[in-house]
Structures are given as structure tokens and as C-alpha cells.
Amino acid sequence: MGSLVLLQSIISHLPISCLIIFLFWNYIKILLQETIMTDQWSLKEFVVLFMGNGRGNGK
């Protein structure tokens, strides 16, 4: 019975958890957009920063 109560508790709090994750993700997304616009980064520079330059270990 304990696991059923735990499951019901998780399900009842799920919308709140999803909302918190959604708000956090939007906050991070806005910060990234502001950083890109503030620093006048192009999309290519942003992709290279996170994905590498495609030349294999920077060679």
C-alpha cells in the first residue's frame, strides 16, 4: 500500500514539477538568447562553440 500512496503523491505533484521544469527551461532559453544578441554572435559561431568546428579535434 505504501508504494500506491507514493505513486498517487507523485502523480498529484506532477503538474507542479512540469511547470517548474518548463519555467526553468524558458529562463535558460531567454538567457541564451540575450547572450547571443548581446555579444552579436551568429548562429554559426554558437554552433561551433558547442559542437566543434567539424574538422576533428580542432585540427
Q: What is the pLDDT of residues 22-59, one digit of tens each?
A: 889 999 888 888 776 666 666 677 777 777 766 555 54
How many independent structural domains does the chain possess?
Answer: 1
Domain holding 45, by residue range, is 22-59
Is residue 17 very low, low, confident or very high in pLDDT (cuts 50, 70, 90)? confident
Q: Would you say residue 55 lies in a domain? A: yes
Whether residue 20 contacts residue 13, with contact meaning beta carbons closer than 8 Å, is answered with no
Q: Would you say residue 35 lies in a domain? A: yes
Is residue 6 very low, low, confident or very high in pLDDT (cuts 50, 70, 90)? confident
Q: Would you say residue 6 lies in a domain? A: no
Whether residue 41 contacts residue 35, with contact meaning beta carbons closer than 8 Å, is answered with yes
Q: Would you say residue 1 lies in a domain? A: no
Does this model's pTM top 0.75? My answer is no
